[in-house]
Amino acid sequence: MMHRIFASTSQVLLAAGEEGSQATEGGYGTLVPGITSGPLVEWAWLIIVVPLIAAFVIAFWGKKLPMQGWEVAWGSMGFVAIYGTVLFVVNATTGIVYEGAVEIAKIGDFTLEWGWMVDGLSIMMYFLIGVVGFLVFTYAKSYMKDDVRYTWFFVSFSLFAGGMLVLVAAPNLIQLIVGWELVGVASYLLIAHYWEDYANVDAGNKAFMVNKIADIGLFLGVIIMAVSVGSFRFSDIIDVVVRGEEGMLSQYAFWAGLLIFIGAMGKSAQFPFHVWLPDAMAGPTPVSALMHAATMVTAGVYLLGRLFPFYLDVDGLFAGDVRNIIVVVGGVTLLLSGFLAIVQNDIKKVLAYSTVSQLGYMVAAMGAGAYTAGLFHLFTHAFFKALLFLGAGAVIHAVHSNNMSDMGGLRKKMPITFWTFIIGTLALIGIFPFAGFFSKDEILASVRYAGGSGQDAANFILVLGIAGAFITALYMTRVVALTFFGKYRGHAEPHEAPRMMTYPLIGLAFFAAVAGWINVPGVYTGFTTWLATRDPLTGMGDHHPESFDWLLVFIVTLVVLAAVAIGWWLYGRDADTRAERDTFRIPVLWPLFENLYYIDEFYMRGIVRPTMGPIARVVLWWDMHVVDGVVNLVGLGSVGLAKSVRSFDQNVVDGIFNEAGAVIGGAGSILRRSFTGRIQQYAAFSFVGVVIIVVVSIIL
């Protein structure tokens, strides 16, 4: 086992600044002294391993356990939550910079390692996955009760969480890909959990295939990057970037950066790869909550954060030009997906498109060079989006329908669900003092700063971001009005969720209310420091404002309140006229939104069918005439060989043994006559034998 003091994204930059090789006016700050060894970090590999072991244990022995394996899954996430929280607190007070690695193999000049990072970025993800995962696993006990594949669900769910932990712990690109694919496989199993309905299987296939297409970009980008640097380690790659070494990496940096971003687009559902995520709502609601909050869809944003200096590119040698593409993709995604949320009737699909939109904000922030802002929104979003999905699940559990047309008036029958859902909604739309206000404001302020610093695309994206805030407030007001106000329109008997489901709602509501206060410009910016295990960067493009951009705060708040007012006027007023207003439509736009911009149809008619038709026919011909021919030929040869072996066995082998048996049997018959039982006869035979032996001995 090897132990390295890991040079994190920010610390490599800072170290370079201290050496003077890349220093700019004002410097890069100073390293925060912290933990670089000791049991706390050296045993952090357990965070990765425990959920994977849990999945194995549940798979083989889950059905024999008192709670059908849930207790093992829940306990493993509890362990991750406790360990992640301890690391989070220690990092906030002392700072942690560590990397452990075990060498697996050597392939030429490349070393393959299995390791675990313990730095600000990975610790944030350990904390999120652990805490949010623990609450979601708690909720799932009641939600999945009586499910026909209850035990198998927790096998897949533990694998899902474990795969994400493998990904975020990875100190190198190979391990990241392993975690990346583990998450993909587990998501397929979970999305298609209710496989009796073929639509759910189709949704799982769609998610898997769209991600595989995007993964081609990731794999090619990783190959280019690793070959260029001669290493898969993030620390080695970032070191080349910080030192500004001209070479193969700088020569192919644009293509490596673009291809890796394409992989990130797939996992984080950026336009035009966004089409899989709403269909993923076919899986159980706990899956949707964890997927949209702290696992799978955050992987792309996490990867951009891990390679941030490569895209920031202070010296202009590397992938700085890709950031213009990143910020545009993020801006387009946040706006277009927001429009689609307005017209959905399925409450989970509204939240799914909302997640795509919020991921667009995070990606746009990364493209604008706002490392802290993008990851801060990932952090706060995890709490309030998990809360909203679990709240939606509680409603679905009560009314036995996903459609808001079967809901209404539930605030009195489900008060805990209602008030926690309201807190999640206020956090999502960015109302002060809830978490989303602080993180979304920092993104918009950072994008505005980037626009003023010469990144022209950022000015346009700022407008899209403000428009996205309006749309978010509009569709969430619609969800609240149609679900909790007016008259109940369903057929079931709604009721408040069991305590095993409401307790996680209350816990997530707490975080959704207060998580934003750990990074308040000009007041307290602990998250900025904890995230990178360093003092705030200066001169690196990761803008940290000294106070709120009050003009921007005023504009965005006004826009959000206007959207809430319009949404309430459309969907939340008196119940007598509400049925007509629930079907509010704008003639040209609504059909476009309802048909998802016809993108899915274009993919099917323009790409899938024309491509798969000829390919399928070629594959069919090859299968029938070549593969089947080879198989049939091998089969005929095997049959002929079997007949020959049988003939040889019957006529030769059996003949030899039968003849040998007959000879031995005949000899035995002759000898048997000499065994009469008469002692005198035996004595005579013995005497004759002795005489013969003596005579032969004398002669010889």
Host domain of residue 655: 598-673
Which residue ranges in the chain fall short of pLDDT 50? 5-32, 534-541
Same-domain pairing of 660 and 559: no
Q: How many structural domains is the chain composed of?
A: 2
What are the pLDDT digits (tens) for 208-229?
888 899 999 999 999 999 998 8
For residue 293, the surrounding DSSP H or E stretch is helix 285-293
Give strand pairing partners of 113.
103
- State the pLDDT at residue 651: 77
Examine the fold and report which residue of 559, 577, 594 is the final residue of a domain before the chain moves on: 594
Same-domain pairing of 631 and 525: no
Per the domain annotation, does 79 fall within a domain? no
Whether the full predicted model's pTM is greater than 0.75, yes or no, is yes
Same-domain pairing of 604 and 577: no
Taking CA atoms, 211 is separated from 147, 604, 675, in Å, by 28, 16, 86
Contact by Cβ (8 Å): 134, 79: no
Do you find a cis peptide bond into 614, omega within 30 degrees of 0?
A: no
- Distance between CA atoms of residues 352 and 340, nearest Å: 10
Per the domain annotation, does 351 fall within a domain? yes
Q: Tell me the DSSP string of 457-520.
A: HHHHHHHHHHHHHHHHHHHHHHHHHHHHSS----SS---PPPHHHHHHHHHHHHHHHHGGGG-B
> In the β-sheet with 110-118, what is the strand arrangement from edge to edge?
2-4, 98-107, 110-118
Output phi, psi for 233, to 5 deg. -70, 140
Per the domain annotation, does 130 fall within a domain? no
Same-domain pairing of 630 and 586: no
Same-domain pairing of 550 and 615: no
- Distance between CA atoms of residues 204 and 285, nearest Å: 15
Q: Measured in whole angstroms, how far is the alpha carbon of residue 144 from the centre of its chain?
A: 21
For residue 224, the surrounding DSSP H or E stretch is helix 198-229
Smallest CA-to-CA distance from 413 within 502, 495, 312, 327 is with 495
Same-domain pairing of 547 and 657: no
For residue 276, the surrounding DSSP H or E stretch is helix 276-279
Token pair belonging to 75: 């306990």
- Distance between CA atoms of residues 13 and 22, nearest Å: 8
Examine the fold and report which residue of 544, 569, 594 is the final residue of a domain before the chain moves on: 594
Q: Tell me the DSSP string of 438-454.
A: HHHHHHHHHHHHHHHTT
Phi-psi region for residue 568, left (φ > 0), alpha (ψ -120 to 50) or beta?
alpha
286: Cβ contacts below 8 Å, ≥ 6 apart: 136, 137, 139, 140, 143, 144, 157, 390, 393
Smallest CA-to-CA distance from 274 within 601, 611, 600 is with 600
What are the pLDDT digits (tens) for 381-426?
999 999 999 999 999 999 998 888 888 889 999 999 999 999 999 9
- State the pLDDT at residue 2: 55
- Distance between CA atoms of residues 353 and 473, nearest Å: 13
- Distance between CA atoms of residues 651 and 425, nearest Å: 85
- Distance between CA atoms of residues 75 and 51, nearest Å: 9
- Residue 656 exposed, middle or buried by CB count within 10 Å (0-12, 13-18, 19+): exposed
Give strand pairing partners of 247.
none
Q: Measured in whole angstroms, how far is the alpha carbon of residue 135 from the centre of its chain?
A: 18
Q: Which residue carries 């798979």 as its tokens?
A: 59
Per the domain annotation, does 113 fall within a domain? no
Q: How is the chain split among helix, strand and coil, in percent rounded to 5?
A: 75, 5, 20
Per the domain annotation, does 4 fall within a domain? no
Same-domain pairing of 547 and 434: yes
Token pair belonging to 79: 């362990």
Same-domain pairing of 295 and 415: yes
Same-domain pairing of 464 and 414: yes
43: Cβ contacts below 8 Å, ≥ 6 apart: none
Length of the chain equals 700
308: Cβ contacts below 8 Å, ≥ 6 apart: 9, 366, 371, 542
Per the domain annotation, does 100 fall within a domain? no
- State the pLDDT at residue 12: 42
Same-domain pairing of 644 and 576: no
Q: Tell me the DSSP string of 572-590.
A: TS-GGGHHHHHT---TTHH
Per the domain annotation, does 56 fall within a domain? no
Three-state SS at 199: helix
Per the domain annotation, does 55 fall within a domain? no
155: Cβ contacts below 8 Å, ≥ 6 apart: 55, 58, 59, 62, 69
Examine the fold and report which residue of 567, 594, 621 is the final residue of a domain before the chain moves on: 594
Q: What does DSSP assign to residue 100?
A: E
Three-state SS at 546: coil
Phi-psi region for residue 276, left (φ > 0), alpha (ψ -120 to 50) or beta?
alpha
- Distance between CA atoms of residues 262 and 211, nearest Å: 10
Give strand pairing partners of 233.
172
Handedness of CA 533, 538, 542, 544 (dihedral sign): positive
Smallest CA-to-CA distance from 470 within 556, 394, 404, 411 is with 556
Smallest CA-to-CA distance from 127 within 90, 99, 178 is with 90
Smallest CA-to-CA distance from 41 within 79, 87, 2 is with 87
Output phi, psi for 520, to 5 deg. -110, 110
Three-state SS at 104: strand
Same-domain pairing of 449 and 476: yes
Contact by Cβ (8 Å): 505, 420: yes
Same-domain pairing of 265 and 357: yes
